[in-house]
Amino acid sequence: MTGPSLRHAGVNLGATDPRAHAQAEHPVFGFWLFLMSDALIFALLLAVYGTMVSATMGGPGPASEFDLGAILIETVVLLTSSLTFGMAVLAMKYDGGARGRMFAWLAATLALGLLFLGLELRDFATMFSHEAYPTRSGFLSAFFALVPLHGLHVAAGCVWLLAVVGQVLVHGLDARTKINLLRLSLFWHFLDIVWIAIFSVVYLQGLIA
């Protein structure tokens, strides 16, 4: 009688690489714990923002500073990057030693991540040109504590993606590099979930308030 099959959140590699699948259980579970602790930080910052959104001190407020069209473009870009990362992981799982398609999807993910960061920096520059600085009011302090932190996570994800690609080029698609790619994919999808929360709580509510 065989024992229960190992399962973890994310793409399971049991059908194509049983060794990597067996080794992934504990690292992937541990990384989920890290993501949950990171989620608590974002939840606290969202709560702080919710209490400070009306504290504009007569300065710029959400309605004057948020551009819904630009934010929708950023949202589409980031969500699309999650799709391309998912395709990269599927290519890793099913293409065996052929890495070309996986690298192509990862390159698309990196390009979309950098595009998102560029668009977000443009938004921040526009706000600064309106003298909407973090020290101007409680609303702006809470905003710049929350949204740029997410951007820093995206930037870290881009650097991590380049590091994983370097590992694959040096070591090939062994168990270690596959597990690193699985963890990075969870991180990237997590950032999409956080952005949806930011989009809903910060931008949508700010524009309709």
136-169 tens-digit pLDDT = 999 999 999 999 999 999 999 999 999 999 988 8
Give the pLDDT band of residue 23 (cuts 50, 70, 90): low
More confident of the two residues 59 and 77: 77
Average pLDDT over residues 165-183: 85
The per-residue pLDDT for 93 is 77
More confident of the two residues 178 and 189: 189
CATH number given to 18-208: 1.20.120.80
| Whole-number average pLDDT of the chain | 85
CA 204 to chain centroid, in Å, comes to 19
Of 6-15, 90-99, 182-191, 199-208, least confident by mean pLDDT is 6-15
163-174: burial string, b at 16+ Cβ within 10 Å, e else: ebbebbeeeebe
For residue 96, pLDDT over 70 is answered with no
Average pLDDT over residues 17-38: 67
The per-residue pLDDT for 152 is 97
Give the pLDDT band of residue 2 (cuts 50, 70, 90): very low
For residue 21, pLDDT over 60 is answered with no
Q: Based on the number of CB atoms within 10 Å of its own CB, is 195 exposed (0-12), middle (13-18) or buried (19 or more)?
A: buried
For residue 14, pLDDT over 50 is answered with no
Average pLDDT over residues 95-117: 89
* 115 close to 121: Cβ distance less than 8 angstroms: no
- Closest by CA position to 147, among listed 161, 160, 134, 163: 134
The per-residue pLDDT for 104 is 94
The per-residue pLDDT for 37 is 92
Of 29-38, 56-65, 153-162, 178-187, least confident by mean pLDDT is 29-38
Give the pLDDT band of residue 24 (cuts 50, 70, 90): low
Does residue 122 sit in helix, strand or coil?
A: helix
